[in-house]
Amino acid sequence: MNKQNYKWVVYFIGITILITIAAQVYWNYREYQINKQNLISKVQLSLDNAVEAYFVNLTKSGIITFTSVDSIGENKKTDTIIVKTNSRRGLRKKLDSTLQNIAILENDKPLFIETPRNDPYPFFTRNKMIPKNIDSLMSKVFISISRDTLDLNNLDTYLNNEFNRNNIDVTYGLKYSYGERTGNDEFIHNTIEYKLEKFPEKHLTTTSKSTFLPHRSKLELFFTNETKLLLRNSFISILLSLLLSASIIASIIYLLKTIYKQKQLAEVKNDLINNITHEFKTPIATISTALEALKNFNALDDKVKTEKYISIANSQVSKLHVMVEKILETASLNQENLVLTKEPIELAKLIENVIEKYELINTNKKFNFKNSIGNVVLNLDKFHFENAIGNIIDNAIKYGGNKITIELVFDKKNIVILIKDNGNGIHKNEKDKVFDQFYRIPTGNTHNVKGFGIGLFYTKNIIEKHKGKIDIIYDKNNNTLFKIELLNE
């Protein structure tokens, strides 16, 4: 996958993630609004039920019930009022003398019926019962004999019961507005508030639609703390939504990382093929030239030239052998079937031998070895551990400056090997990548620096198989140091 295609994939995945988040936010917001409307409806229903319970309770303690024929039609005249009471005393004095027919009931039983003599068809007569369908034709308005307003403190008791029954937990207050008739047949609007002192400005409001309330009156309920209640009721759906969104986003991100990793592997593969081709091409060409010289220029007759060409070919074959061995060793590390042959070895002596080998072939480099641990002996695999240390020194020679320092020190119970050079060092962004298989800082088909990018990967695995660890640190001058820690067992 080229960079342009990968960029479009990243854009597409980013847009997909944004759409997923936006869809979940919209869905949760929409559900929140629906639940909010449902809560308002439940609160209003609870308020209406509380009002009904309040007035029903008043009818049991001296309340007159006036029933008017509202549902018959606006153009029809009402000729009868039925009065229910459980208290007869003084009732006739309080009734309006303009009424045509009056029926008085006590505990739902006919007690008194009065009908004008000039009405040949009274609505009720003395010994007749009330029709069974009277409730379907009439709506009730309850008016207390002793008061024209609501007792909000008493109403609050019924409202609390309704809220508890419906599992509604909100902070609320009440406001009752009603009209009072004056002597000039005018109305004065009065207001009674309950639990509204220092009530939050941000709140919801609902108005009772109960037909039990007196004419020209309004009962409002203000409530807050609804967000907590709505979130609690929607907890499961919100949790499932978050889990779904997180799963989708995590899957998409994992897909993106996988694509990126495959892209990197493809680049590393191409880089490795180019490097192997170049590394193998040079010694093969050298061997071919030496053999051609032996064949075509009578070099066999000259013993000195023969030995020279054979030596050149042999050195190039050895070089090919080393490169093949490195690749095979790396493959064996991946299969985790590499078995170390450990034996007691003096660490300082082993490192001195490695330094001597590189000093012979790199005379333009200056090596400095500092030993602060003495003749400490560790159980090491001589062959692989020498190669591991040699790979770090080899990288210092290729990428570093002219001065290479190797130091052995104690750090608590561990033995530390520090290898540094005076070159440009490794950038901090690259420090975690240099130990990856086939990774080389100069990427692409560039061959000014030899190697396959497997040396430090091999070194890291060998050090870890010796129960140690390797890391890149930086000194006060920002120089790169390879730090190897080994247990002093």
Could you tell me if 383 and 462 are in contact, meaning their C-beta atoms sit under 8 angstroms apart?
Answer: no
Residue 223 and residue 266 share a domain = no
248 domain-assigned: no
Residue 481 and residue 371 share a domain = yes
**Average pLDDT value over all residues in the chain:** 75
Residue 119 and residue 105 share a domain = yes
Contacts 24+ apart (CB under 8 A), 85-93: 86/60, 86/62, 87/62, 91/64
291 domain-assigned: yes
459 domain-assigned: yes
Q: Specify the pairing of strand 204-207 against strand 343-346.
A: unpaired
Residue 292 and residue 432 share a domain = no
CA distance 157 to 53: 10
Q: Summarize pLDDT for 123-155 with one digit per residue, the tens.
A: 444 444 555 444 443 434 444 443 456 788 889
Could you tell me if 61 and 87 are in contact, meaning their C-beta atoms sit under 8 angstroms apart?
Answer: no
SS3 assignment, position 152: helix
Q: Both tokens of residue 49? A: 């039920």
Q: Which residues of the chain have pLDDT under 70?
A: 1-2, 60-149, 180-189, 297-300, 329-337, 439-453
Residue 107 and residue 164 share a domain = no
What DSSP character marks residue 424? -
Q: Both tokens of residue 215? A: 């004419």
CA distance 439 to 261: 13
**Which residues have CB under 8 Å from 159's CB, separation 6+?**
46, 47, 50, 172, 174, 221
Instruction: Please work out, in degrees rounded to the nearest 5, the angle formed at the alpha carbon of residue 234 by the alpha carbons of 38 and 224.
Output: 55
Residue 132 and residue 18 share a domain = yes
Could you tell me if 242 and 231 are in contact, meaning their C-beta atoms sit under 8 angstroms apart?
Answer: no
CA distance 255 to 263: 12
246 domain-assigned: no
Q: Summarize pLDDT for 176-207 with one digit per residue, the tens.
A: 888 765 555 555 567 888 888 878 878 888 88
DSSP 99-113: -SEEEEEETTEEEEE
Instruction: Please work out, in degrees rounded to the nearest 5, the angle formed at the alpha carbon of residue 12 by the alpha carbons of 10 and 18.
Output: 100
* Predicted pLDDT of residue 161: 92
**Which residues have CB under 8 Å from 249's CB, separation 6+?**
17, 20, 21
**Which one of 96, 114, 140 terminates a domain?**
140
Residue 362 and residue 326 share a domain = no
- H helix runs in 336-466, sequence order: 347-361, 382-399, 455-465
Taking residue 95's Cβ as centre, other Cβ atoms within 10 Å add up to 15
* Predicted pLDDT of residue 125: 42
Q: What residue numbers bound the domain in which 170 lies?
A: 152-229
